[in-house]
Amino acid sequence: MRKRKLGKSGLEVSALGLGCMGMSFSYGPPKDKQEMISVLRSAVERGVTFFDTAEVYGPFTNEELVGEALAPFRGKVVIATKFGFDLSPNLDPRGMKGPPGLNSRPEHIKQAVEGSLKRLKVDAIDLLYQHRVDLNVSIEDVAGAVKELIQQGKVKHFGLSEAGVKTIRRAHAVQPVAALQSEYSLWTRVPEKEVIPTLEELGIALVPYSPLGKGFLTGKMNENTKFESSDFRSTLPRFTPDALKANQALIELLNSIAERKKATPAQIALAWLLAQKPWIVPIPGTTKLHRLEENIGAEDIELTSDDLREIDTASSRIKVQGARYPEKLEQMTGR
């Protein structure tokens, strides 16, 4: 697989990475550990060198899985992880566990990094993201804490996730930001307005998560698709039956291009992202080997300037229905 550099950081990774969250978290029950280790190692064998996890995935179990699976490939792969949630028991008045709150206090960051280093079985974290911007802690203090960790040799590069342009600039002034991880795909194009021009100006890479629209852009869903209660898509406005039905127009567009290119809708969606900028590195997630191979195949699809124009013109006429997150989670983005 071809390589890409994450902005001006010098960090080189495969053009497509692998998002590991769904192996342990969010998309139904955790998957079989040995099967997931096999998928992760198969990804390395096929040229993937960029793997994405976070302490909150599980929590902790996804980092442990990635650490164990990739232990034989130390020095040959780049592992990104994230801090920023308070994962101590978070009890509401009835004694039930609630969703974790944010915590990016410098002492908490340092504590989180020690845990991640152990679980990932590494001496240094290749790329450390703040998972969500914490309005209770100045971004200068966050960037300063990561800068100290870099000076101590515990972290190599600093990243942000779902941050707004002002936050990106302020953080970058304290400690150069290698990459911003944000949702970006043919059905989530918010970063194009302000974020992507800012990243280009500053020399920061964009790592799109959910580049296949949490599975929607594979073309395998319609209004009859049902999600288990343990699948977080069951809580997302964009995955209600009405929204799934309305958004099929996007799948029809992908299908028409895919037929012409002898490809799948998912491959066209990924090839479109790769064609946007040379410093964009999507991280599609999967738990299945055949899907991994399908995603990797996107790198070989050449979309001409006419193809890209056609996709942009047609997609601009399609209004995507449904917010991508419930309001409380949406408020944590773009800060």
Beta strands 3-5; 12-14: pairing state:
antiparallel
Q: What is the structure's pLDDT at 97?
A: 55
Model-wide pTM > 0.75:
yes
Q: What is the structure's pLDDT at 89?
A: 61
Checking if the pLDDT of 225 tops 70, the result is yes
Mean pLDDT of 56-83: 97
Q: What is the structure's pLDDT at 95?
A: 46
Within 10 Å of residue 100's Cβ, how many Cβ atoms?
Answer: 15
Q: How would you class 10 by CB atoms within 10 Å of its CB: exposed for 0-12, middle for 13-18, buried for 19 or more?
A: exposed
Q: What is the structure's pLDDT at 98?
A: 56
* Residues linked to residue 191 through DSSP beta bridges, in sequence order: none
pLDDT band at 202; cut points 50, 70, 90: very high
Q: What is the structure's pLDDT at 309?
A: 97
Lowest mean pLDDT across 73-82, 93-102, 207-216, 286-295? 93-102
Quick check: 219 and 254 in contact, CB under 8 A? yes
Q: What is the structure's pLDDT at 88?
A: 79
pLDDT band at 151; cut points 50, 70, 90: very high
Structure tokens at 46: 């096929």
Tell me, yes or no, if 129 is annotated catalytic. no
Instruction: Quote the percentage of the chain above a pLDDT of 90.
Output: 96
**Across all residues in the chain, what is the average pLDDT?**
96
pLDDT band at 100; cut points 50, 70, 90: confident
Q: What is the structure's pLDDT at 303?
A: 97
Q: What is the structure's pLDDT at 96?
A: 43
CATH topology of domain 3-330: TIM Barrel (3.20.20)
pLDDT for 32-52, tens place per residue? 999 999 999 999 999 999 999
**100 vs 58, residue with greater confidence:** 58
Quick check: 88 and 56 in contact, CB under 8 A? no
Residue 32 makes CB contacts below 8 A (sequence gap 6+) with: none
Round to whole Å and give the CA distance between 19 and 16.
Answer: 10
Q: Which of 57, 129, 184, 209 is catalytic?
A: 57
Closest CA to 71 of 14, 105, 33, 119: 119
Q: How would you class 151 by CB atoms within 10 Å of its CB: exposed for 0-12, middle for 13-18, buried for 19 or more?
A: exposed
What single DSSP character describes residue 328? Answer: H
Round to whole Å and give the CA distance between 221 and 244.
Answer: 7
Round to whole Å and give the CA distance between 224 and 227.
Answer: 10
Structure tokens at 284: 């599609």
Checking if the pLDDT of 71 tops 70, the result is yes
pLDDT band at 93; cut points 50, 70, 90: very low
Mean pLDDT of 111-128: 98
Checking if the pLDDT of 267 tops 60, the result is yes
Q: Report the chain's terminal Cα–Cα distance, integer Å.
A: 34
pLDDT for 292-316, tens place per residue? 999 999 999 999 999 999 999 999 9
Within 10 Å of residue 274's Cβ, how many Cβ atoms?
Answer: 20
Mean pLDDT of 195-209: 98
Within 10 Å of residue 121's Cβ, how many Cβ atoms?
Answer: 15
Q: What is the structure's pLDDT at 94?
A: 47
Checking if the pLDDT of 91 tops 50, the result is no
Instruction: List the domain boundaries for the chain.
Output: 3-330
